């Protein structure tokens, strides 16, 4: 089975802190994604990566950056957390475009 693991399920951070959300997949997938999910807005794509060190902006990249130094790991970085970044963050991966996207369990981030 495909396993997408997000390192933290629940985080509480202060405004202005730097936040790292880590995601690891064990299926040698080319593509990895970060989404955030908010009530009434559904899932919105923040960034995705189709190869090591490659990244592309999604629909809402502002305030976020990503890092993919190894194929299995995709990190989401909030350089200076703000309260409007309080959300559920979901990592996902797929073998390639057009193939099934598998999701992790999600990380609940609260910024106070």
Partner 1 sequence: SQELEQSPQSLIVQEGKNLTINCTSSKTLYGLYWYKQKYGEGLIFLMMLQKGGEEKSHEKITAKLDEKKQQSSLHITASQPSHAGIYLCGADGLAGNEKLTFGTGTRLTIIP
Which chain residues interact with partner 1 by CB under 8 A?
4, 6, 33, 40-43, 45, 48, 58-59, 88, 90, 92, 97-98, 100-106, 108
Pairing state between β 31-38 and 87-94: antiparallel
In whole angstroms, the minimum distance from the beta carbon of 70 to partner 1 comes to: 22
- Minimum distance between the CB of residue 38 and partner 1, rounded to whole angstroms? 10
Of 82 and 99, the one with the shorter C-beta distance to partner 1 is 99
Pick the closer one to partner 1 by CB: 4 or 81: 4
> CB–CB of 110/12 below 8 Å?
yes
Residues forming a β-bridge with 90: 35
According to DSSP, residue 64 is labeled: -
| Cα distance between residue 14 and residue 4, in whole Å | 27
Name which of 59 and 79 has its Cβ closer to partner 1. 59
Q: How far is the CB of 81 from partner 1 (least distance, A)?
A: 20
Give the residue from 47, 95, 51, 94 showing the smallest Cα distance to 75: 47
């Amino acid at each position: 089975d495909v396993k997408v693991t997000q390192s933290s399920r629940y985080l509480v951070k202060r405004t202005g802190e730097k936040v790292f959300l880590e995601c690891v997949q064990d299926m040698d997938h080319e593509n990895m994604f970060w989404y955030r999910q908010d009530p009434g807005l559904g899932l919105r794509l923040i960034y995705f990566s189709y190869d090591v060190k490659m990244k592309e902006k999604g629909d809402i990249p502002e305030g976020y950056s990503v890092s993919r130094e190894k194929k299995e790991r995709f990190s989401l970085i909030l350089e200076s957390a703000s309260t409007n970044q309080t959300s559920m963050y979901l990592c996902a991966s797929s073998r390639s475009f057009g193939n099934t996207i598998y999701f992790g369990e999600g990380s609940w981030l609260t910024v106070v």
